[in-house]
Structure 1
Amino acid sequence: MADERGVAAVSMRKVAEHLGVEAMSLYHHVANKEEILDGIVDLVFSEIELPDDAGDWRNAMRRRACSARAVLARHVWALGLMDSRRNPGPATLRHHDWVIGCLRGAGFSIATTAQATATLDSYVYGFVLQESSLPFDTSREPADAAATLADALPAEEYPHLLEMAKAHARRPDYSYADEFARGLDLILNGLERNLAEEQAAQR
């Protein structure tokens, strides 16, 4: 129901209707709508890959981020709920524990682990939200829109916007989706440098 009509469509009454039962019968299984939301958010977390080889923290973080992006693209409604649950389920807790353990095992301090987790998650969530809001249905449309924009705007007023449109977004092979990996590498490169600095300071 959430995937089809958004999380606002999820209510005790509507879930009961979907299941073909009386709403009161649901209360034998869950206390209220909040428990349903806890459960479906936990299901979303359970779909995100947690690589077995956490020894290579960078590759593990990359795979986890790419998996999270793919999962959230299927469940965009979950973006506003991922970190809002007061009673996180086992998959949610396992997910967060794995991320922390992977970074701590690589040698990151507690403080940097917290910052890295927040930064990576904010990037993934933000990218999915932005990507899902774009007014494009095909990979060709961004280049077409950039071409239209470049032809319509006066260069003297918007020189940098036009430079971006002409030199980057207007390329025939341009795809906004490709920006995800590049941006993720920027973050991982920064974390790698930070880790090297932390380890050097401890020597």
Structure 2
Amino acid sequence: MTQLAEAARRVPLNRGRVLDAAVTLADEVGIEALSMRRLAQELGVVPMALYKHVANKEELLDGMVDTLVSEIDPPAADAPWKTAVRLRVLSARRALLRHPWARPVIETRTTATPAVLGYMDAFVGMFLAGGLSVDLTHHVMHALGSRMWGFTQEVFDDSAGRDANEHPTITVEARAAMARHMAGSYPNLFRIALAAAHDDESVVGNGCDDQFEFEFALDLLLDGFERLHERNWTSK
């Protein structure tokens, strides 16, 4: 094992190796624990060696998103536009499920790298190739929003409820009291909360964004886009 580690350290450091190591480390310890110092330790180099390949932590995070983009399947050739869009969105979602750190990193990016711009450009291209107008495609991209990346920015955040179930220190009586308060103060929310049955293994981040909810909303949007296209809809 020591020989393998020493051999790895002798491999010349480059940007790709730095980014791959950062992704692996974030997968293992979480994005909050990722630091330039810890990454350098994993690579067996001094921290200053990293700065020859990434200028700072923000550039490292940008590069990690680029690595994520490279894992997303390219647009399906010769597929109808709705199918091509759906397949690529679901491929992006699978990538996010593999890398739980990715959603918060994507949400905090303030600049788009060439890889991100290329990903967005290909998305626009799928709609235009399907015959949608530039005007409609502009509004379609706004409507898709974060779904382009495979997650939904949720109105409801039920992470607190899931956390309560994970902590045995919260008694059954306390949970029952919380439920009674919810039912009395917010009866409509309580009714739909009781109706929900979500698979936490398919949730990207907090909230109700499990696989069923995500695909339900995606298909609803794609069907709506198709109807607008068939009507030759225009915003002008």
TM-score above 0.5: yes
Give ranges in structure 2 of 5+ residues lacking alignment. 1-24, 164-175, 200-207
Q: CA deviation at 1:169?
A: 3.0
Q: Deviations over 1:111-155 (max 9, x none)?
A: 32232223223244326897994728xxxxxxxxxxx89x85797
1:64 aligned partner, one-letter code: R
Distance 2:159 2:182 in 1: 26
Q: Which of 29, 35, 39 is equivalent to 2:63?
A: 39
2:192 aligned partner, one-letter code: M
Distance 1:102 1:110 in 2: 12
The verdict on how the C-alpha distance between 1:131 and 1:62 changes in structure 2, with shifts beyond 3 A counting, is farther
Q: Which of 64, 68, 85 is equivalent to 1:61?
A: 85
The verdict on how the C-alpha distance between 1:163 and 1:130 changes in structure 2, with shifts beyond 3 A counting, is closer
| 1:88 lines up with 2:113 in the alignment | yes
Aligned-residue Cα RMSD (Å) equals 3.6
Q: CA deviation at 1:162?
A: 5.5
Pairs within 5 Å for 1:1-80: 1-53=25-77, 55-80=79-104
Q: CA deviation at 1:186?
A: 0.9
Pairs within 5 Å for 1:1-203: 1-53=25-77, 55-82=79-106, 84-86=109-111, 88-90=113-115, 92-123=116-147, 124-126=150-152, 133=159, 135=162, 152=180, 160-161=188-189, 163-164=191-192, 168-169=195-196, 175=199, 177=210, 178-198=212-232
The verdict on how the C-alpha distance between 1:189 and 1:20 changes in structure 2, with shifts beyond 3 A counting, is same
Q: CA deviation at 1:13?
A: 1.8
Distance 1:22 1:129 in 2: 44
Find the residue that maps to 2:52 and give its secondary structure: coil
Q: CA deviation at 1:99?
A: 0.5
Does structure 1 conserve the Cα–Cα contact (< 8 Å) formed by 2:152 and 2:214?
no
1:126 aligned partner, one-letter code: T
The verdict on how the C-alpha distance between 1:154 and 1:25 changes in structure 2, with shifts beyond 3 A counting, is closer
Distance 2:32 2:189 in 1: 37
The verdict on how the C-alpha distance between 1:36 and 1:129 changes in structure 2, with shifts beyond 3 A counting, is farther
Distance 2:181 2:124 in 1: 47
Distance 1:155 1:39 in 2: 46
The verdict on how the C-alpha distance between 1:81 and 1:110 changes in structure 2, with shifts beyond 3 A counting, is farther
Does structure 2 conserve the Cα–Cα contact (< 8 Å) formed by 1:76 and 1:129?
no
Match of 2:16 in 1: none
Q: CA deviation at 1:4?
A: 2.8
Give ranges in structure 1 of 5+ residues lacking alignment. 137-147
Q: Deviations over 1:153-195 (max 9, x none)?
A: 79787654455356x436xxx7563222212111111111111
1:11 aligned partner, one-letter code: S
Q: CA deviation at 1:33?
A: 2.2
Q: Deviations over 1:79-123 (max 9, x none)?
A: 233362535143x23321210111111122223223222322324
Distance 2:62 2:187 in 1: 48
